[in-house]
Structures are given as structure tokens and as C-alpha cells.
Amino acid sequence: MKCPFCEQPDTKVIDSRPTEEGHAIRRRRECIVCGKRFTTYEKVEDVFFMVVKRDGRRESFDRNKILNGIIRACEKRPISLDQMEAVVSDIERNLNNRMEKEISSELIGEIVMEHLKDLDEVAYVRFASVYRQFKDVSTFVAEVEKLLGDNRTGGVKQ
């Protein structure tokens, strides 16, 4: 690893430890030439995939779009940013494990809703109302009744 201070290629690792729930390694390094210390992170490169939008457009996957949607859905709810980040990381891991080059935005939305349903029902309904583009109050009420029905049967759909 090249030293960021003197740009010499010889550095040594002083300390290594796992970070991000074991998905990355933090390494403390020291330059053999100038003696300055710096930190590097090593992690597995994620699989790159495209998101196929409803209108057929394709764009690169962006985890920040999912996080922003979840943040809006969880606004004024007792959900920490750490919990939201954990949901996004789990969704991203799930999508990467599919090993597909293209994934539909509909599938991503459904996965987000499943996670939100477990995290916070109000956030779930908020997200679903935007994602499913509820046209009127009756559509909204039907979704809430479906959610209530799932709760009454212990999550088993009737």
C-alpha cells in the first residue's frame, strides 16, 4: 500500500481488526520510509447490477435511494438511523446474493416493504402508499386492513 504522505510503496501493517459486522477489515499502517501512520479499509467488492425501472429505463443501483426512501417513511417514528442503515445493508446483501446483472425496481420495492413491515408498521404503510401509488383512500384502507389481518393471524395471509 502506497504511503499517502510520501508516496513510497513500502508500508507495514501495525494492527488489523474487523469492522462493519465483519464485512470489512480496518488496517492501521505505518510507512517504512517516513514513519507516518494511516488507516486503510479492505472489503469485498460488491457485485455491480442495474435497476430496471417501471418504464424500462436502466440505472446503476444506488443504496442511498433506498436509504432516503426509508428515512422518509420512518420520519417521526422511533427508528434509529443505525436500524435504517442495517435494513439497507441487509437489502443490499440480499440483492447482491442474487448474482443477477439486472433487478427490477418492483422487486426492490417489495423487499423494502417486507423489511419495513417487520421494522415499523406505520413506516410500512407510508412507504407502500408512495411505492404502490395509492389512488384513493379506499386503496389505502385496503392495505391497512390487509396489514391488520396479517397481524391477527400471526403473519399468515388468509
| Sequence ranges of the domains in the chain | 11-43, 50-144
- pLDDT higher for 80 or 134? 80
User: Tell me: the pLDDT tens digits for 108-140?
Assistant: 999 999 999 999 999 999 998 888 777 777 877
> Is the pLDDT confidence value at 142 over 90?
no
pTM, 2 dp? 0.64
pLDDT at position 144: 82
Measured between alpha carbons, how far is 65 from 116 in angstroms, rounded to an integer? 15
C-alpha separations of 25 from 28, 39, 43, 134 in Å: 10, 10, 6, 44
Measured between alpha carbons, how far is 67 from 69 in angstroms, rounded to an integer? 5
Phi and psi at residue 84, to the nearest 5°: -65, -40
User: Tell me: the pLDDT tens digits for 5-45?
Assistant: 999 999 999 999 988 677 789 999 999 999 999 999 887 76
| Cβ neighbour number for residue 29 with a 10 Å cutoff | 19
pLDDT at position 46: 63
